[in-house]
Structure 1
Amino acid sequence: MRTILGMTMAAAIVISAPMAQAETLTDAFIAAYRNSNLLDKQAAVLRAADEDVAQAVATLRPVVEYTLTSGWGRAQSTNNGPFFDAWASTFELSASMMVYDFGRRNLNITLLKETVLATREALRSVEQQVLYDAVSSYVDVQVKGQIVSLRQSNVRLVTQELRAAQDRFEVGEVTRTDVSIAEARLAAARAALAVAEGDLMIAREAYRAATGAYPGSLKSLPRAPGLPKSMEAAQSVALKTHPSILQAQRGVTIRELAIDAAKANFMPTLSGSVSASKNSDGTNEQSFGLSLNQELYSGGAKASGLRQAIANRDGARADLQQAVVSISEAVGSAWAGLAMANAQVQAGDRQIAAAQTAFDGVREEASLGARTTIDVLNAEQELLDARVTRIEAEAQRYLGVYAVLQTMGLLTVEHLGLGIPTYDPAQYYNAVKNAPVHSAQGKALDRIMGKIGN
C-alpha cells in the first residue's frame, strides 16, 4: 500500500496549488471535523433537545404574573339623577403552581433527558460519517492521481509504438493496417486519459466538500488502524459501542417512560394559587386557593393514549432488535469486503508480474519481427489494466479498515487519536439543564454560545 499509494501524482501536483507542506490524512480528518455543516446542524439539534429539558424543569416552578387594568366608567345614582364619571385602576400580582401531579412532570423530565442522550448518539453517527467521507476522499484523490499518471505513461508508450509502426511501414515490414491499429489505440489512450483527468477533478471536488478546501500535495497514507482479530470480536464490540444501537436502546427507554406518563394521566392534579391586588379606591385584596382536578370521562382518549404508548414501546423494541441485526450484518459485510480486497491485492501482484513479463517478451519478439504491433499493444494494455486494478484494490483494502471501524462505532476523533478539541455535549446541557434566565449560569451560557459561534 505504501509503495503504490505513495507514488508521485504528477497530474495532481500540476492541478493543485503549491503548498509549503504536504497534507496528511490527519490534517484531512481535522479539517473535515472542523468544517462540517452536518456536525454543526446535529450539534444545534442536540442543543435544542437540551432546551426541552430546561423547559420541562421550568414546569416544576411557580408561574408569576401581574395584571394592570385601568378604565373609565359613567354611572347614574338615580333614574333622573346626574351622571358621575370615574376612572378605576387595579394592579394584581398572582402566582400559581402545580403542587402534585402524580409524577407527570418528573416523568417528562426523565423522558426528555433520555431523548438528549439519544440525540448525542445521533451526533456520534454523524461524526463517523464525516470522518469516513474524509478518508474516502483522501484516498480517492491519491488513486485518481496515480491512474492519471498511468494513463499519461500509456499515451507516451502508445505514441512510441505508433512511431515504430510508421517506421516499419515505410520500410515495408508492416502494412497500413498495423499503423491504423496503433493510431486507433492512441486515440483510445488519449480518451482514457481525459476520463482519468475528469475523475481526478471530481475526486478533488469531493475532497473539498468533505474537508472544506481543495487538496494540495498529499502525503502517502499512514498505516491503517488496528482491528480485532476476528469478525466475531468486531461484532461483539459493535453491539456495545455503535451509536445506532445505543440510540435504539434509549428509544426503548423513552417509550417505556411514555407508558408511565400515559398511566399518570388517569390521576388527578393538585394546584395552588395566590394573588394580591390593589385598587385605585384604596382597597386591597388577597386570596389563596387549592384546586384538585381530574377528568372523569374523556371519550376514551386517555385509554387510547395508553394503548398507543404500549404499541410505540413494542415498535421501539423491534427497532432495537433490527438495529442489532443490521449492525451485525454491516460488520460482517465490511469484514468480508476487507478480506476480498486483501485477496485482490495479492492476485494483483501476481497479475502485474505476469503481465510485465509478457509485455517485455512480446516487445522483444516484435523487434525481431516475430510479433505484430497489435500484439505489443494488447500486452501493454493488459499490463496497464493490471496496474489500475491493483491500485484500486489497495485503496479498497485501506478503506476497508475504516469501514470496519465505522460499523463498530469506533470511527471517532477520540478513537483515532486526532488530538483536537471536540464538541462537548455535556457543557451546554449543564449550562441550561436548570433553566437559567439570566444569572451566573446565563452568563456562562453566553460564553458557550460565543465559542460555538466562533
Structure 2
Amino acid sequence: MNLTHFSRSLRGVVVAIPLAFAVFLPRQALAETLADALVGAYETSGLLDQNRALLRAADEDVASAKAALKPVLRWAGGLTQNFGSTRASSLAPAQSTDSLTASINLIGELLLYDFGASQYRVEATKETVLATRQTLLDIEQRVLLRAVAAYMGVIEASDAVALRNNNLRLLTQELQAARDRFDVGEVTSTDIAIAQAQLAEARSGLAGAEGALMQAVEEYRNVVGRKPGNLVPPPQLPNIDGNLDAAKALAVRQHPTVLAAQHQVAAARLAVKSNEASMSPRVTLQGSYGISETFDSKRYSRSGSIGVEAGQTIYQGGALSSAVRRAMAQEDAQRANLHVVSREVVQEVGNAYASLASARAQLEASDRQIRAARAAFEGVREEAKLGARTTIDVLDAEQVLLDAQSTRVTARANLYIAAYAVLASTGRLTAADLRLPVQLYDAAAYYKLYAVRRSHTYSLALDLRFRGFFVLWG
C-alpha cells in the first residue's frame, strides 16, 4: 500500500469515527432543546389524538345530517309458500293450491321541501364542527404549555440538585475546618455539632431535590413521550407585547375557547330555527317498483308507483313546541356561556401578565440577592479564619446564599412558564404560531374527504331541484 492510499484510508477512518459515535451515542447524551420537547409533545400526545378522533366524529355528524337531504333507497323481498286444496263440487276431484311465490320490491324516497328544517340541522352540525376544531386548538395549547412546564421543571430540578451538591461539599469543608479549629482550641464541640447538624440537613435537602428531579423526569416522559436528554438552557423569551389592554382585546378576538363558544351560540340559534321549521309540512317524492313471480306457474306481476306526498304533524302532545322552547333555552345558555368564557379569557390574560411581571421582578431581585449573599459569605468565612466569626455565622451565610440561588432557579423557571402562558392566554401557543418543525394536523382534511366531497355533486342537483320546486309553488 502506498503512502497516498494509506493517507486516504486514515482520513476515512477519522471521519467515520465521529459518525459512529453520533449513531450509537445514547439519546440522553445528545443536546435537547425546548423546541425538541414541544415537537415531542405535539407528536406523541394521547390527549391530542383523542380530541382529533372526537373532531372526526363531529365531522361524521355533518354527513349524517346531510343524509336527510339525499334519496333513501331500500329493498324488501320475500318468499311465500301457500298450501291448500279446492273442490268445485262433491263429485269433482280436489285440486291442490300449493304455490311458491317470490317477490322483491325497490322503494325510494326523496325529501323535496321541509321549510329548511333539515338544512338548518346541517348548518348547526357544521357550527359544532367549527367549535370542535377550536376546542382542539385549545387542547393543543394546553399540551404545549405543559411541555414548557415539564422542560423547565427538569432544568429547575437539575439545577436544584447541583446547588444542593455544591452546598453539601461546602458544608463538608466547613465541618472539617471546624474540627481543625477545635484541635487547636479555637472553637468548642458545640460548633462541631452545629456543623454536623447543618451537614445532615444538607443531605436531607439533597435527597429531597433528587426526589423532585425524579418526579420532574417522569412528568417530562409523560408529556413529551421520552426521557429527557441533555437539556440545554432555554432560548430567549418569546416576543410579548407589553400592552395589557391590547392583549386582552386580542384574546377576546382570537382565543380558541372564545371562538368555540361563538360557534356553539350559532349552532344553538340554528337548532331553534330547525325545531321551528319541523312544525311545518313536509313534501316528499316517493316511488316503488316490485316484481312478484309464482314458481311452477306462468303467473307473475310487475308493478311500480311514483308520487308526491305532503304531510304535517298537527298535534303530538306538545312535543314539538317543547322542543322549540328547549332549543331556545339552550341558545340562552350558550350566549351566557360566551359571556362567561370571554370574561375568563380576559382574566387569564391579566393573570398571565401579572405572573410574568412577578417572575421578572423575582429574578432581578434574586440576582441582586445572590451577589450580596456571596459577598457576605466570602467575607464571613475570611473573618472566621481570623477568629472574628463563629462557625454558625459561616453556616448561616452559606444558607442565605443557597436560598438566594434556589430562589433564582425557581424564578427563572417561572419566568419562562409565565411567558409562554401569556402566549397561551392570547391564543398564540400553537404549533403553527411557534413554527415547530412538525407535520401540522389538518383539521379540515377528514371533513373535506368524507362530509363534503361525496355529497357535493348531489347537493348541487338537489339545490336546483329545490329552486324548481319553489317556482312551481311560486
- Both structures adopt the same fold (TM-score exceeding 0.5): yes
2:157 aligned with 1:167: no
CA distance change for structure 1 residues 37 and 49 in 2, over 3 Å: closer, same or farther?
Answer: same
Cα deviation 1:88-132 (Å, max 9, x = unaligned): 111111111222111111111101111110000011001101111
- Which among 317, 324, 329 is matched to residue 311 of structure 1? 329
- Measured against aligned partners, the alpha-carbon deviations of 1:178-210 in whole angstroms (never above 9, x if no partner) come to 111111111100010011111111111111111
After TM superposition, list the pairs within 5 Å mapping 1:263-342 onto structure 2: 263-280=276-293, 281-342=299-360
Cα distance in 1, alignment partners of residues 355 and 336 from structure 2? 28
Q: Which runs of 5+ in 1 are unaligned?
A: 1-15, 440-454
- Aligned residue identity for 1:230: N
2:390 is aligned with 1:372: yes
Tell me how far apart the structure 1 counterparts of residues 393 and 452 of structure 2 sit (CA, whole Å).
Answer: 80
Question: What is the Cα deviation at residue 170 of structure 1?
Answer: 2.1
Q: Could you tell me how far apart the structure 1 residues matched to 2:156 and 2:29 are?
A: 22
Amino acid in structure 1 at the alignment position of 2:82: G
Which SS does the other structure have where 1:327 is aligned? Answer: helix
- 1:216 CA displacement: 0.7
CA distance in 2, matches of 1:434, 1:230: 42
Percent of counterpart pairs with the same letter? 44
* 1:20–1:178 Cα change, 3 Å: closer
Which of 221, 226, 236 aligns to 1:213? It is 226
SS in structure 1 at match of 2:241: coil
Post-superposition shift, 1:19?
A: 4.2
Is the 8 Å Cα contact of residues 29 and 229 (structure 2) preserved in structure 1? no
Per-residue Cα deviation, 1:353-402 (whole angstroms, up to 9, x for no partner): 11111111111111111111111101100000001001111211121110
Task: State the AA in 2 paired with 1:400.
Answer: A
Return the offset for 1:435.
Answer: 7.1
Q: Is the 8 A contact 1:58 1:435 kept in 2?
A: no
> What SS does the aligned partner of 1:433 have?
helix
Q: Distance in 2 between matches of 1:434 and 1:240?
A: 28
Measured against aligned partners, the alpha-carbon deviations of 1:254-307 in whole angstroms (never above 9, x if no partner) come to 111011011112101112211111111321111123222211111112112111
The 8 Å contact of residues 28 and 228 in structure 2, kept in 1 or not, is answered as no
Mapped pair 1:69 → 2:101: no
Please list, as runs of the form range in 1=range in 2, the aligned pairs for 1:73-92 lying within 5 A after superposition: 73-78=82-87, 81-92=94-105
How far has the Cα of 1:229 moved from its partner? Answer: 2.4
Whether 1:222 and 2:235 are equivalent positions in the alignment is yes
8 Å CA contact retained: 1:54, 1:435: no
- Identify which of 25, 31, 45 aligns with 1:22: 31
- 2:213 is aligned with 1:200: yes
Aligned residue for 1:423? 441
Aligned positions of 1:182-193 closer than 5 A: 182-193=195-206
Instruction: Please state how far the C-alpha of 1:429 moved relative to its aligned partner.
Output: 0.7
Task: Give the Cα–Cα distance (whole angstroms) in 2 for the partners of residues 326 and 113 of structure 1.
Answer: 26
Can you give the 5+ residue segments of structure 2 that lack an aligned partner in the other structure?
1-24, 294-298, 458-474
Runs of 4+ in structure 1 off by over 4 angstroms are: 16-20
Secondary structure of the equivalent of 2:98?
strand
**Is 1:34 aligned with 2:49?**
no
Q: Which amino acid aligns with 2:47?
A: L
What amino acid does structure 2 have at the position aligned with 1:243? Answer: P
Larger Rg: 2
CA contact (8 A) 1:57 1:435 kept: no
DSSP-derived class of the 1:371 partner: coil
Query: What CA distance in whole angstroms lies between the structure 1 residues aligned with 2:301 and 2:413?
Result: 86
The AA in structure 2 aligned to 1:320 is: L
RMSD: 1.7
CA contact (8 A) 1:262 1:309 kept: yes
Name the counterpart of 2:412.
394
Question: Which residue is 2:461 aligned to?
Answer: none
Q: Is the 8 A contact 1:57 1:434 kept in 2?
A: no
Aligned residue pairs total 423
Q: Does 1:114 align with 2:132?
A: no
Secondary structure at the aligned position of 1:59 is classed as helix
Q: What does 1:141-180 correspond to in 2, within 5 Å?
A: 141-180=154-193
Aligned to 1:4: none
Tell me how far apart the structure 1 counterparts of residues 97 and 182 of structure 2 sit (CA, whole Å). 126
Amino acid of the residue matched to residue 369 of structure 2?
Answer: Q
| Cα displacement (A) at 1:311 | 1.1
Kindly indicate whether the alpha-carbon contact (under 8 Å) linking 1:178 and 1:374 is maintained by their aligned counterparts in 2.
Answer: yes
Residue 56 of structure 1 and its aligned partner are, at CA, apart by: 1.5
Secondary structure of the equivalent of 1:71? Answer: strand
